[in-house]
Amino acid sequence: MTNPVTPAYAPPERPAQGDILVVEDTPASLQLLTGLLSEAGHRVRPAPDGELALWSARGQPPELILLDIRMPGMDGYEVCRQLKDDARLREVPVIFLSACTDTDDKLRGFAVGGVDFISKPYQFEEVQARVLAHLELARLRQRLAYQNAHLEQLVEAKAEELAQARLSLLGERQLRDLAERESRLRLSEIAHMNRNASATVYCAALVHELNQPLAAIMSNAEAAELFLNMERPALAEVAEILADIRRDDLRASELIQSMRDLLKKSEAVTASLDLNEVVRVAAMLLASEARVRQCALTLALDGPALPVAADRIQLQQVMINLILNGMDAMADLPPGARRLEISAALAGGQAQVLVRDHGAGFTCDLERVFESFFTTKPGGMGLGLSIAAAIVREHGGQIWAGNCPDGGAVVGFRLPREALPEQGAGDAP
Ligand X SMILES: Nc1ncnc2c1ncn2[C@@H]1O[C@H](COP(=O)(O)OP(=O)(O)O)[C@@H](O)[C@H]1O
Give the footprint of Mg ion on this chain (CB under 5 A): 325, 384
Shorter beta-carbon distance to ligand X: residue 21 or 409: 409
Shortest approach of ligand X to residue 191 CB, angstroms?
A: 13
Contact of residue 194 among ligand X, Mg ion, none (CB under 5-8 Å per partner type):
none
Shortest approach of ligand X to residue 406 CB, angstroms?
A: 15
Rounded Cα distance, 167 and 37, in Å: 60
Contact of residue 382 among Mg ion, ligand X, none (CB under 5-8 Å per partner type):
ligand X
Shorter beta-carbon distance to Mg ion: residue 83 or 385: 385
Shorter beta-carbon distance to ligand X: residue 165 or 364: 364
Rounded Cα distance, 171 and 41, in Å: 63
Taking CB positions, which residue lies at the least distance from ligand X?
384
Shortest approach of ligand X to residue 318 CB, angstroms?
A: 11
Rounded Cα distance, 295 and 287, in Å: 9
Shortest approach of ligand X to residue 373 CB, angstroms?
A: 8
Phi, psi of 426 (to 5 degrees): -75, -15
Shorter beta-carbon distance to ligand X: residue 69 or 318: 318
Contact of residue 50 among ligand X, Mg ion, none (CB under 5-8 Å per partner type):
none
Shorter beta-carbon distance to ligand X: residue 325 or 350: 325
Shorter beta-carbon distance to Mg ion: residue 21 or 191: 191
Rounded Cα distance, 15 and 17, in Å: 5
Shortest approach of ligand X to residue 3 CB, angstroms?
A: 56
Shortest approach of Mg ion to residue 411 CB, angstroms?
A: 10
Contact of residue 381 among Mg ion, ligand X, none (CB under 5-8 Å per partner type):
ligand X
Phi, psi of 301 (to 5 degrees): -105, 120
Which stretches of the chain bind ligand X, using CB under 6 A? Answer: 321, 325-326, 329, 357, 359, 361-362, 364, 369, 374-377, 380-386, 409
Rounded Cα distance, 220 and 203, in Å: 26
Shorter beta-carbon distance to ligand X: residue 54 or 323: 323
Peptide bond into 121 cis (omega under 30): yes
Shorter beta-carbon distance to ligand X: residue 259 or 401: 401
Shortest approach of Mg ion to residue 325 CB, angstroms?
A: 4
Shortest approach of ligand X to residue 303 CB, angstroms?
A: 26
